[in-house]
């Protein structure tokens, strides 16, 4: 990735500043961390709605008669089986099975896909796709600058979005996308998100970002919509048990190590089932079956100190403090009112309900209970 | 925001009230509270313990980070604000009032405490 001295700014930069946002550097982008209280923003998304600028996410378009074959070769999922208009959560791995990134892939048309990568990995994913495209009749296009991305998330998001679009939102299923017009601007409207709530992500031209933001803000006023920053996005996804690259996912882990082996599809029709990482992932699947690695679990605090990424998890009861795992993400949970964490814990200690597991917080072993993920699931 | 004129301020963003009967009240500034974000956990020095000017004596934890609390004076802790321990959001909502942290019988002050104007210039707000 080219590292420039000054961070990149989204099309809504001036607007965020006018709203008094606290900005933060995130993967080379200057992004809104919070506008006021991040806990209020979190609670608004859980109970009403929040509006996010996610323009740092990396869009890559793959087109051509062999677009599906290329993606089946390059990614671990069965991309040819996605119906046009639908989306899928998947991963791109190295030949050795290590996770390069987790992705959402939209099949826009039969021969057109949009791959959405994490900002921190977008260049890596782009480079890998370009390299893996060799020999396929397909084009890989860097569309990072072609899109701004806004997300409206929360139980009132359908009502709010309906008031600024004629698109058929009722017919739009979870993990589906359709082209439409939002507040006069052409957009890809997707029913996806990273909060654990119902919601939409809107891919649109950067020059339309401000008018759409303002229209959603106006439409959302009566529903309690607030601008929401990356700080609450992180606590929302943590409560929803969703992994974040660089925390729960890394090149040191295969999808099976991360408890996400289900995204790997060995039964692909294209390329006679061959794909990058297949052999290593076949072994990883067997290893996970026979000799389970550490498991990704939830931890809920019995006390009030907050666990953070990188802190050691130690065995229950033992004064010796045998290390049995490591925290990957931790935060005070606004919904539970207690500190929570995700952690990789040795399988022998990973049973939900295990109490008294310790997190080493600056030398003190704070007691935690192991729970199954997610911490929070919305009522449907 | 405005920093109350009657208080003095440390470079670690604590404020110190004028002593009444030798006892000063200590808290963190609005600038510091805003920089931290929502405070969710406060650990204060124990009543009866001695704090030392310039040294850590507790911690403040917010959504994103943990910060050490520094004592701007040396002396014996005579009171800790239990309201703030029970409701840490007071630090954000009323940093100069209900969000005060602890009281110290002052035996020695930190040398380089600032006036409100000096602190406003130092912190930029």
Average pLDDT in chain A: 95
pLDDT at A3 over 60: no
CB B92 to CB A332 under 8 A? no
User: A39 CB near a chain B CB, below 8 Å?
Assistant: yes
**Residue A343 corresponds to which tokens in the numbers above?**
């952690």
Contacts of A39 in chain B (CB under 8 A): 38, 63, 89
For residue B1, count other CB atoms closer than 10 A to its CB.
Answer: 12
CA angle A234, A240, A245 (to 5 degrees): 50
Q: How far apart are CA A361 and CA B56, in angstroms?
A: 17
Residue B121 lies in a domain: no
Per-residue pLDDT averaged across A114-123, rounded? Answer: 98
Give the lowest-confidence range in A95-99, A147-151, A233-237, B108-112. B108-112
**CA-based nearest residue in chain B for residue A20:** B34
CB B63 to CB A38 under 8 A? yes
pLDDT at A317 over 80: no
Q: Which of B31, B36, B37 to mutate to test the interface with A (most CBs of A within 10 A)?
A: B37
Residue B12 lies in a domain: yes
Per-residue pLDDT averaged across A106-132, rounded? Answer: 98
Between A273 and A34, the higher pLDDT residue: A34
Q: How far apart are CA A323 and CA A365, in angstroms?
A: 11
Between A328 and B2, the higher pLDDT residue: A328
pLDDT at position A1, please? 45
Residue B55 lies in a domain: yes
Contacts of A308 in chain B (CB under 8 A): 66
pLDDT at position A319, please? 61
User: What domains, with CATH codes, occur in chain A?
Assistant: 8-54+147-239 (3.30.1360.120), 58-141+254-273 (3.30.70.1400), 295-371 (2.40.30.110)
pLDDT at position B105, please? 97
Quick one: pLDDT band at residue A293, thresholds 50, 70, 90? confident
Per-residue pLDDT averaged across A216-242, rounded? Answer: 98
Give the lowest-confidence range in A30-44, A88-102, A218-232, B100-114. B100-114
CB A231 to CB B61 under 8 A? no
Q: How far apart are CA B86 and CA B81, in angstroms?
A: 9
CB B41 to CB A308 under 8 A? no
Quick one: pLDDT band at residue A318, thresholds 50, 70, 90? low
Residue B119 lies in a domain: no
Per-residue pLDDT averaged across A9-30, rounded? Answer: 97
Q: Where are the alpha helices (DSSP H) in B1-125?
A: 30-36, 82-86, 90-93, 116-123
Q: What is the CATH number of the domain that holds B67?
A: 2.40.50.100
| Facing A231 at nearest CB: one of B41, B64, B92 | B64
Residue B33 lies in a domain: yes
Chain-centre distance for alpha carbon A211: 26
Place of tokens 């060799």: A134
pLDDT at A46 over 60: yes
For residue A11, count other CB atoms closer than 10 A to its CB.
Answer: 19
Q: How far apart are CA A284 and CA A227, in angstroms?
A: 42
Q: Which residues, in sequence order, are CB contacts of A205 under 8 Å at separation 6+? A: A146, A147, A148, A185, A186
CB of A47 within 8 A of CB of A56?
no
Helix axes A230-239, A38-47, angle to 10 degrees: 50
CA distance A45 to chain B (A): 16
For residue B55, count other CB atoms closer than 10 A to its CB.
Answer: 10
CA distance A23 to chain B (A): 11
CA distance B91 to chain A (A): 12
Is residue B54 classed exposed, middle or buried when 0-12, 13-18 and 19+ CB atoms within 10 A define those classes? middle
pLDDT at position A4, please? 54
Quick one: pLDDT band at residue A78, thresholds 50, 70, 90? very high
**CA-based nearest residue in chain B for residue A35:** B37
Residue B81 lies in a domain: yes
Residue A354's Cβ-side half-sphere holds a number of Cα atoms within 13 Å equal to: 21
Quick one: pLDDT band at residue B2, thresholds 50, 70, 90? confident
pLDDT at B61 over 60: yes
pLDDT at A2 over 60: no
Per-residue pLDDT averaged across A291-312, rounded? Answer: 93
Enclosing domain of residue B71: 8-109
pTM: 0.93
Residue B51 lies in a domain: yes
Contacts of B64 in chain A (CB under 8 A): 33, 38, 231, 331
Quick one: pLDDT band at residue B110, thresholds 50, 70, 90? confident
Per-residue pLDDT averaged across B110-114, rounded? Answer: 88
Q: Which of A21, A33, A332 to mutate to test the interface with B (most CBs of B within 10 A)?
A: A332
Question: In the beta sheet, which residues pair with residue A52?
Answer: A151
pLDDT at position A110, please? 96
Residue B38 lies in a domain: yes
pLDDT at position A379, please? 84
pLDDT at A321 over 80: no
**Residue A107 corresponds to which tokens in the numbers above?**
């099949």
CA distance B113 to chain A (A): 28
CB of A138 within 8 A of CB of A67?
yes
Q: What's A176's DSSP letter?
A: B
Query: Which residues of chain B from 47 to 86 reach within 8 Å of chain A, CB to CB?
Result: 61, 63-64, 66
Per-residue pLDDT averaged across A314-336, rounded? Answer: 89
CB of B15 within 8 A of CB of B42?
no
How many domains does one find in chain B?
Answer: 1
Over the stretch A193-209, which tens digit does the pLDDT of each residue have? 999 999 999 999 999 99
Per-residue pLDDT averaged across A336-349, rounded? Answer: 95
Q: Which residues, in sequence order, are CB contacts of B18 under 8 Å at separation 6+? A: B6, B7, B24
CB of A255 within 8 A of CB of A264?
yes
CB of A23 within 8 A of CB of A17?
yes
Q: Name the nearest CA neighbour of A364 among A306, A284, A324, A325.
A: A306
CB B66 to CB A332 under 8 A? no
Quote the ipTM score: 0.81
Q: How far apart are CA B21 and CA A327, in angstroms?
A: 47
Contacts of A235 in chain B (CB under 8 A): 63
Per DSSP, the residues of A39-81 read: HHHHHHHHHSEEEEE-TTSEEEEEESTTHHHHHHHHSSS-GGG
pLDDT at position A320, please? 66
């Amino acid at each position: 990735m080219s590292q420039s001295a000054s961070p990149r700014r989204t099309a809504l930069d001036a607007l965020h500043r006018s709203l008094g946002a606290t900005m933060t550097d995130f993967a080379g982008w200057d992004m809104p961390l919070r506008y006021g209280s991040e806990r209020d923003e979190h609670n608004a998304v859980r109970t009403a709605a929040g509006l996010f600028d996610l323009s740092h996410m990396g869009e890559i378009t793959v087109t051509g008669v062999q677009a599906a074959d290329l993606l089946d070769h390059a990614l671990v999922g069965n991309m040819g089986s996605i119906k046009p208009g639908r989306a899928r959560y998947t991963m791109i791995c190295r030949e050795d099975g290590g996770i390069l990134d987790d992705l959402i892939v939209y099949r826009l048309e039969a021969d057109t896909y949009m791959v959405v990568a994490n900002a921190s990995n977008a260049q890596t994913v782009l480079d890998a796709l370009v390299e893996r495209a060799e020999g396929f009749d397909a084009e890989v296009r860097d569309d990072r600058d072609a899109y701004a991305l806004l997300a409206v998330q929360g139980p009132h998001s359908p009502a709010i979005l309906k008031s600024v679009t004629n698109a058929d939102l009722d017919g739009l299923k979870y993990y589906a996308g359709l082209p439409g017009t939002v507040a006069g601007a052409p957009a890809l409207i997707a029913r996806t998100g990273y909060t654990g709530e119902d919601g939409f992500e809107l891919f649109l031209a950067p020059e339309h970002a401000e008018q759409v933001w303002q229209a959603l803000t106006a439409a959302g006023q009566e529903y309690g919509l607030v601008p929401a920053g990356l700080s609450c996005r992180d606590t929302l996804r943590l409560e929803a048990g969703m992994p974040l690259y660089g925390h729960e996912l890394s090149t040191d882990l295969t999808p099976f190590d991360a408890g996400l082996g289900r995204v790997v599809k060995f039964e692909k029709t294209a390329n006679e089932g061959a794909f990058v990482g297949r052999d290593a992932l076949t072994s990883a699947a067997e290893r996970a079956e026979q000799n389970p690695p550490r498991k990704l679990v939830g931890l809920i605090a019995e006390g009030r100190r907050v666990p953070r990424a990188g802190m050691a998890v130690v065995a229950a009861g033992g004064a010796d403090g045998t290390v049995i795992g490591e925290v990957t993400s931790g935060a005070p949970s606004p919904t539970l009112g207690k500190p929570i964490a995700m952690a990789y814990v040795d399988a022998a200690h990973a049973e939900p309900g295990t109490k008294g597991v310790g997190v080493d917080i600056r030398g003190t072993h704070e007691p935690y209970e192991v729970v199954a993920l997610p911490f929070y699931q919305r009522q449907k | 925001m405005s920093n109350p004129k009657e208080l003095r301020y440390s470079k670690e963003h604590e404020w110190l009230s004028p002593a009444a009967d030798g006892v000063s009240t200590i808290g963190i500034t609005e600038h510091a509270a805003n920089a931290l974000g929502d405070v969710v956990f406060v650990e204060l020095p124990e009543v009866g313990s001695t704090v030392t000017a310039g040294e850590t004596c507790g911690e403040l934890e917010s959504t994103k980070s943990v910060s050490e609390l520094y004592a701007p004076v040396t002396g014996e802790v005579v009171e800790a604000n239990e309201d703030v321990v029970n409701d840490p959001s007071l630090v954000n909502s009323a940093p100069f009032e209900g969000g005060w942290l602890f009281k110290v019988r002052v035996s020695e002050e930190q040398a380089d405490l600032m006036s409100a104007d000096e602190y406003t210039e130092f912190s930029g707000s």
